[in-house]
Structure 1
């Protein structure tokens, strides 16, 4: 497994992020290997979501660096990171509410076919004409996660993927994410049983600082 100095995957190095006078990350260093699934744990307010945003480029670092496949991408825009294959699925506002499910899937697929999303989540087939803003929370999560499936992303960052889902759909979602041919970082409040066997590495944040790093079996 590569450490923070490795060339594969994506890393934060001594990252600090500020929101005005509040520092949300206090020199966090972590590495998401190119293979396997990494889980980032933390309660609300721990800095968990900020780590994902920092990696994706949607919030700037006040100090530190983001390194992707050995290259420093700290000053690369979020758009450019996305164009190079990074997909962020936030825990909210992850779909276009005024567009239909069909239109959302079409955008995610770049105008190409989106049958892979319907195979993953058959429920979406019944919802194609519906506006995304009218869907339930679990249905919106299915639609949002379809982006990661359709984009063929190289790096997938997902915040609480199973939020609002039934246990069966949640289990299916974890299977889909662990089966991706991508660098995958999943942020959760606690380690789901369905992820334990597939997880390569676990990090835990508390109050913006790293409190644990190791294998899932050590948790």
Structure 2
């Protein structure tokens, strides 16, 4: 993403943001509510349009490529809310994501889902729905995985397992978080961008975060 700007009516949510996410690799967009982290993730997914700037994927400009075509090219987007088909069963949700590949990897990653296979996804707890939504990235063989707050509602042990799974994917993985998870603070190679009021105030590896003051972004 290069010099990206996004407006919601009169409000500019991103002020010329540039992000470079390696693939395979894990990138964290960090920031409080209103920082622009979720908007940046949605811009990468193609669900909100840029008013300026561009989105590049493997060197190709996909700025004007619609979200559904990005999915066809190998993108998996897991939003914070409404990330599963509530009226379908857990098994049906997994079958949609896996298509002909089968969804055994999802059950190996999250065995908690196995007894829930016949249940309607809308009846699951928040943490269970999060596991189901994230399973899409494990069975869809995505090349780019975008996740907004992956561990929301999960028990600490399941959250830790989730970050390990995301970090081990052979894909460009970008997650949005309010705070840097403890599991990632000392993990080598994790790239962090901290956003504040729509601008980047820190860019570097996770271990470097907090090593010094960060400036306030300008418009």
TM range (shorter): over 0.9
User: Which residue of 1 is the match for residue 140 of structure 2?
Assistant: 151
Is residue 2:208 matched to residue 1:218? yes
Is residue 2:17 matched to residue 1:28? yes
SS, match of residue 210 in structure 1: strand
TM-score, normalised via structure 1 length: 0.93
SS, match of residue 102 in structure 2: coil
CA distance in 2: counterparts of 1:187 and 1:199, whole angstroms? 17
Moved more, 148-157 or 190-199: 190-199
User: Which residue of 2 is the match for residue 188 of structure 1?
Assistant: 177
Q: In angstroms, what is the RMSD of aligned CA positions?
A: 1.0
TM-score, normalised via structure 2 length: 0.93
Contact 2:24 2:169 in 1 (8 A): no
Q: 1:1-219, aligned counterparts within 5 Å?
A: 12-196=1-185, 197-219=187-209
CA distance in 1: counterparts of 2:152 and 2:25, whole angstroms? 22
SS, match of residue 118 in structure 1: helix
Q: 1:116 to 1:44 in 2, by over 3 A?
A: same
CA distance in 1: counterparts of 2:80 and 2:49, whole angstroms? 19
Contact 2:184 2:190 in 1 (8 A): no
Runs (4 or more) in structure 1 with deviation over 3 Å come to none
CA distance in 2: counterparts of 1:61 and 1:170, whole angstroms? 32
**Which structure 2 segments of 5+ residues have no match?**
210-219
User: Which residue of 1 is the match for residue 215 of structure 2?
Assistant: none
**Which structure 1 segments of 5+ residues have no match?**
1-11
User: Which residue of 1 is the match for residue 216 of structure 2?
Assistant: none
Q: Paired residues, what number?
A: 208
CA distance in 1: counterparts of 2:88 and 2:100, whole angstroms? 14
Contact 1:178 1:198 in 2 (8 A): no
